[in-house]
Amino acid sequence: WTKYIPRILAALFFWAAAYEGMDLLRGWRAAGVLELAALRRAVLNLVLFHHKNHLYYLHIILLVYAVLPLTRRLVAAADRRLLNYGLGIWFVLGCLAPTLKFFPPLSLIGGIPAQYPINLTWGAVGYGVLGYVLTREAPRHRPRTFVWLYIAGTALTFGLTLAASLKTGGLYQVFLQGNSPGVCLQAAGLYGFCAAQWQDRDRWPVAETVSKASFCIYLTHLFFLEFLAGRGLSAGTLPPVWGVPVLVVVAFGGGFLVWLVLRQVPVVKTYLI
């Protein structure tokens, strides 16, 4: 509450205001006048947490940090069997149930059992516990074990999304959510591989630099994507095979350059990026 949460709140409201300001600027350029109603709406959006969609991650992190004392006590006191049991319950109620509730027979269930699934926000707490367990347990396994786990998750995510999209005639996003089973397996596979492969590596300058810049890249990447989209360059208009990698490079590179500049400002470096 004194170290992490104030920083997250400062970054959240600053960048939410920046995105609101960008929307106001577009409206002013289009209409030639800055309407009072637009200003009032922007302020309300800021106060009521109606922020830019991609800032949802900061909303989630606030909750994760708020319950961190509890999760720390849990992982410190629980033995291996209890942690595995807790993660099993979390996977069933936080990953499987929220995904399968859109399909029979779970979609037909009503009453209190329909409220058993854990939503994405609270499910992020389980991801934190999973990260702790993988950090401790992954070095005991071969890295290729987690490679196969990642491949299985990717196949599940892509395969189910492809099948559902072909059936519905449009992009079906249920299996792309952060708490879907395939995405969970991908996350565990990728992180577990890193923990197992580089367990004895004390320093990795490139990874450390990217890690330090990643928060700023996340916070600012939409500025660059929206700038390109306004000029007809987006994932929906470019051939995905080369369009998506190009947009990734632009979003990453642009955010990284912003970080290189803003990290020179002490208060900004501490609280906003």
Q: What is the pLDDT of residue 199?
A: 81
Domain count, the chain: 3
Residues 32 and 58 in one domain: yes
Q: What is the pLDDT of residues 144-155, one digit of tens each?
A: 999 999 999 999
Helix (H) or strand (E) holding 190: helix 181-197
Q: What is the pLDDT of residues 92-137, one digit of tens each?
A: 999 999 999 888 888 888 889 988 999 999 999 999 999 999 999 9
Amino acid found at 68: L
Q: What are phi and psi of 222, to 5 degrees?
A: -70, -25
Residues 51 and 109 in one domain: no
Residue 229 inside a domain? The answer is yes
Q: What is the pLDDT of residues 4-53, one digit of tens each?
A: 899 999 999 999 999 999 989 888 887 778 788 888 999 999 999 999 98
Q: What is the pLDDT of residue 175?
A: 95
What is the distance between the alpha carbons of residues 238 and 88, in angstroms, rounded to a whole number?
A: 41
Residue 75 inside a domain? The answer is no
Residues 87 and 189 in one domain: yes
Residues 21 and 97 in one domain: no
Residues 114 and 181 in one domain: yes
- How many CA atoms lie within 13 Å of 235's alpha carbon, on the beta-carbon side? 11
Residue 162 inside a domain? The answer is yes
Residues 88 and 159 in one domain: yes
CA 241 to chain centre: 23
Residues 244 and 267 in one domain: yes
Q: Which of 197, 231, 255 is the last residue of a domain?
A: 197
Q: Which of 135, 170, 197 is the last residue of a domain?
A: 197
Across 185-200, average pLDDT: 93
What is the distance between the alpha carbons of residues 54 and 215, in angstroms, rounded to a whole number?
A: 12
- pTM of the prediction? 0.85
Q: Which of 197, 212, 230 is the last residue of a domain?
A: 197
Residues 190 and 252 in one domain: no
Host domain of residue 87? 82-197
DSSP-assigned letter for residue 244: H
Residue 138 inside a domain? The answer is yes
Residues 92 and 165 in one domain: yes
Q: What is the pLDDT of residue 33?
A: 80
**Residues contacting 177, CB < 8 A, separation 6+:** 98, 99, 120, 183
Residue 179 inside a domain? The answer is yes
Residues 49 and 27 in one domain: yes
Residue 61 inside a domain? The answer is yes
Mean pLDDT of the chain: 91
Q: Is the pLDDT of residue 238 over 80?
A: yes
* CA distances for 10 relative to 75, 120, 267, angstroms: 29, 23, 11
Residues 98 and 186 in one domain: yes
Q: What is the pLDDT of residues 161-190, one digit of tens each?
A: 999 999 999 989 999 999 999 999 999 999
Residue 273 inside a domain? The answer is yes
Residue 71 inside a domain? The answer is no
Across 72-90, average pLDDT: 93
Residues 62 and 109 in one domain: no
